[in-house]
Amino acid sequence: MAAPPCAFSPRGCRLFASSGPDGRLRVWDTAGSRLQHEYVPSAHLSAACTCLAWAPGGPRQPPSKDGPQRKKRKSEAGEVDKQLDILAIGTAVGSILLYSTVKGELQSKLDGGHDSRVNCVRWHQDSCCLYSCSDDKHIVEWNTQTCKVKCKWKGDNGSVTCLCISPDGKMLLSAGRTIKLWDLETKEVYRHFTGHATSVSSLMFTTVKPMNESKPFDGITGLYFLSGAIHDRLLSVWQIRSDRKEKNAVMSFTVTDEPTFVDLTISEVKEEPVKLAVVCRDGQLHIFEHILNGYCKKPLTSNCTIQIATPGNDGDSTPKPVPILAAAFCTDKQSLLLVYGNTLQPIIEKVSLNTSESHICLVRDIQKVLSLKTDAALTKVKTPVVNLDTKVLVPGIPGHSTAIKTPASGKEKKKNKRKPGETEESIEERLGALDIDVSKVKTPGGLPQTDSFAVLLVQGLESNDAEILNKVLNTRKENIVKNTVARMPIHAVIPLLHELTKRLQGNPYSASVMVRWLKSVFTVHASYLSTLPDLIPQLGMLYQLMESRVKTLQKLSRLHGRLFILVTQVAASQTVQDVPEVNQTAKLVYEDDSSEEEGSDDEMIADKDSDENWDEDEEKDKEEQSDEQDMTVEKEINGDSDLEPENESEEE
């Protein structure tokens, strides 16, 4: 399974964009790991996102360019500013979407260039041009202002999987398995490289200047670039040389698994080493630091390996690894931005780079960090102004804070009018406000009733007590479930949905029980849920779970039908085999007297003899007829005839 596409924004990696298999685009703020934008394409189920690319934050050319090019960039400064924070999204159906993170909406759509899956999109540094490649073997140059194709040409005999534009913007690297360097003006191949045995997944230049400064620089000769491929644990470094015969890699970096995300610091000075950060499929991050100075035969190993694990202090004493999803170097080149955890709600953290240690394991409590981030996000929700002395009982699982504080503030105002000195309600008064009669809990069988189930459910959600929640949520009686959900307070609905979502991720047995609770919650409290302003992020995880399970329903139904046919056929064949054979022997035999038996035996013998005699008589008759025919033939030959009686008398 391919890694979900993700990308950091230029100019300091202020934003991080990622897209999951559901087709939803999420843009996170790297400073606080907060979700800033979420975009759902209209065809997100059939046209999933396959690649992402941020518009360039400005030209990355070295300052030693001549005057006319500077004037050109200045004239295009307005266009470049308009392109800031634009995200190009390639889809599985061949279209490209341009999403504006400033406006929070889709800006335009590029159609008509590709007939198949878009594998890679790349922006040009100095203009509004966009390049894309696809499984249809073609490379397309787009004009993002007019949303039309500027040029389209065949890039390979197979799928073109990756692109990269040279630092001067005049050359283009493309790769399927072999790597080609194209001249963007003539659209002709400038150089060929051997490439990899599998499809190339990453291409990027590592230098902007040649290491040998004695020769004049034409903008491309002498530069190094990096490539990685799927199912390949080696990243190769290639050098663009004047000799066309040199097509092999000059060095390689070895990692523990297939690379899924690569970032590097570009070397601008000869003595400056290139720093490379490679995130692998196994969740590890490898840091390389090497000076590119020519051919190196032996593969280079990483200077430092970074892993993240949970502390394992609470229920489970065994630490669990936390996968690293992406990593990027900061502007100071001495620190890293790490993205780890879940793709739906990742954690973004800035760590200092220390390559003196060969292996670093960072211990992070993901659950605690996520709860802190959620609490910080909830504090920014605008709520009605309430009395500062008021204390509200907030559920342990974050819910909708507005719904919690609004009724309490009203009660507090009424209470202050009657008793100005009292500022807080007791627990007994709070339970009494729920209209629950505790005296009716006891039953002859000792089992709790529906009203006590509601009390236990609220207590379990507020204290996050697994024992109480298991006692309540494991009930299978539909009537008790409906009455419990109907009697529970409004502010406990969202925490209950979060708890049910967490339990749905467990084994299928518990999921089948939790679905009954979900049905009752959505049926009874649908009106309340429809009024929540932040319902989509609150129920995002639940929606993902339901959608992933529904996707497999059709396949499971087909499998169920086929298995049902097989089972019925096997059962039918077994029933046929299990039918007892009919006994042909007579169960009752009636015999007459012995004299009659003898007479019957004689008759049978006589019948047999007569039959045999009949057969013998028939054989004799046939022989006589044949003899007579022979005699007549002989007589005719001799001139005799039995039909002349006169001759017979004369002979006599």
What pLDDT sits at residue 608? 54
- Is the pLDDT at 630 greater than 80? The verdict is no
Q: Which of 335-346 are b and which e, b meaning 16 or more Cβ less than 10 Å from the residue's Cβ? A: ebbbbbbebebb
pTM for the model? 0.56
Q: Which of 152-182 are b and which e, b meaning 16 or more Cβ less than 10 Å from the residue's Cβ? A: beebbeebbbbbbbbbbbebbbbbbbbbbbb
- Is the pLDDT at 611 greater than 90? The verdict is no
Q: Label residue 596 by pLDDT band (50, 70, 90).
A: low
CA distance 306 to 621: 114
* CA-atom Rg of the chain in angstroms: 44
Each residue's pLDDT tens digit, 195-247: 999 999 999 998 888 876 667 777 888 889 999 999 999 999 999 988 777 78
CA distance 155 to 610: 100
Q: Label residue 411 by pLDDT band (50, 70, 90).
A: very low
What are the strands, taking DSSP E only, across 47-114? 49-54, 86-91, 96-100, 105-110
Residue with tokens 């190769």: 236
Each residue's pLDDT tens digit, 181-199: 999 999 999 999 999 999 9
Each residue's pLDDT tens digit, 559-593: 999 999 999 999 988 888 776 666 677 778 787 76
DSSP states of 563-589: HHHHHHHHHHHHHHHHSPPPP-S-S--
What pLDDT sits at residue 588? 80
- Is the pLDDT at 306 greater than 60? The verdict is yes
Q: Which two tokens stand for residue 84?
A: 């800031």
Task: For residue 237, give the nearest of 256, 251, 216 by alpha carbon.
Answer: 251
What pLDDT sits at residue 648? 45
What are the strands, taking DSSP E only, across 117-178? 118-123, 129-134, 138-143, 148-154, 162-165, 171-175
CB 24 within 8 A of CB 44: yes
DSSP states of 327-338: EEE-TTSSEEEE
Q: Label residue 281 by pLDDT band (50, 70, 90).
A: very high
CA distance 514 to 506: 10
Task: For residue 51, give the nearest of 102, 122, 101 by alpha carbon.
Answer: 122
Q: Label residue 452 by pLDDT band (50, 70, 90).
A: confident
